[in-house]
Structure 1
């Protein structure tokens, strides 16, 4: 357990689906995108600790402390995700995910590290999805918890696809000891420090 306390400012947010994990862009292609700065009047120098891709949602830490950001981005801090997958995920698929699967990363094959995976009983208590997700009339879906201490681009989505159960919704619920708890879409909480 490591605590970071300083003159810096720290925030815990629920990043909504459809937002980029950045504050602005000069790119013409991204003018129509949603950015974190639209959620709150954040201080100058604020940065996301890690990222969630545009189609992912959930717990995101923000800070003005680059040293703390570097620590959390290191492989020492575990991150837990809830993934709603297409189909009723099998025990075999879960075992494969636990052992590590081969995914594509930067044009090469990559073997994911062993990780903690289990099937959730029922639907987790999360905010209603902003994006449209097909319902059970088109076949079953199920939820899994995946805890990683690595974070390749779109890794969880690639992992569930590799075992035949593509991700329909992805929510990060935990970073180290910090949990999403009852936060809802676009919630922003300023904290004195992070204990991860």
Structure 2
């Protein structure tokens, strides 16, 4: 069984081919990973970075990606504004989104995690403060973390998935990958 941990850079599709329209060729997993018969277990949006797991084992892929298994996924999230205790409490109890309430999340304010520079960098505005939170969810709705932070008044500026279950990004630079025991 193959399990690959990949640090997906910003602006890379979480698939091996670009099925987009308009003739643009965006970077895909095939620009970084040349391992036959592995498939992503879940996905990260084009504008999100961080840990993506790939495997050739369908059972493991389902256990990681299927929300029914409620595998924890931890994100380092740079948000706009100074996050208050009430915003953190709302995330901890679950927030109402247009597709229903979220499950409670584990969330804490964290110091700047000193990550690699993003290319392109986020737009910094001198008059608007930003901060970082560490957020762990057990669901996998479309753009869920971004929608959750926006729902409590703090839009996401940068989103980096750091952990999925027992696997973490530690030591992998953007675009790097390695095989690990499943």
Instruction: Tell me, yes or no, if the aligned pair for 2:18 and 2:25 is still in contact at 8 Å.
Output: no
Deviations 1:94-116 (A, max 9, x none): 10011111112xxxx31001110
Aligned to 1:161: 150
Give the TM-score of the pair, scaled to structure 1: 0.87
Alignment equivalent of 1:83, drawn from 77, 87, 91 = 77
Aligned to 1:113: 103
Consecutive unaligned residues in structure 1, runs of 5 or more = 1-7
How far is 1:138 from its partner? 3.2
Aligned to 2:59: 67
Question: Which SS does the other structure have where 1:19 is aligned?
Answer: coil
Alignment equivalent of 1:142, drawn from 131, 146, 150 = 131
Q: How many residues align?
A: 180
How far is 1:9 from its partner? 1.9
CA–CA separation in structure 2 for the residues paired with 1:183 and 1:92:
34
Pairwise CA RMSD: 1.5
CA–CA separation in structure 2 for the residues paired with 1:82 and 1:124:
8
Alignment equivalent of 2:16, drawn from 5, 23, 34 = 23
Task: Return structure 1 stretches of 4+ with deviation > 3 angstroms.
Answer: 25-31
CA–CA separation in structure 2 for the residues paired with 1:152 and 1:30:
28
CA–CA separation in structure 1 for the residues paired with 2:165 and 2:148:
21
How far is 1:136 from its partner? 5.4
Deviates more, 1:67-76 or 1:170-179: 67-76
How far is 1:133 from its partner? 1.2
CA–CA separation in structure 2 for the residues paired with 1:94 and 1:29:
41
Deviations 1:150-180 (A, max 9, x none): 0100000000000110000000000111111
Give the TM-score of the pair, scaled to structure 2: 0.93
Instruction: Tell me, yes or no, if the aligned pair for 2:16 and 2:28 is still in contact at 8 Å.
Output: yes
2:43 is the alignment partner of 1:54: no
How far is 1:34 from its partner? 1.2
Consecutive unaligned residues in structure 2, runs of 5 or more = none
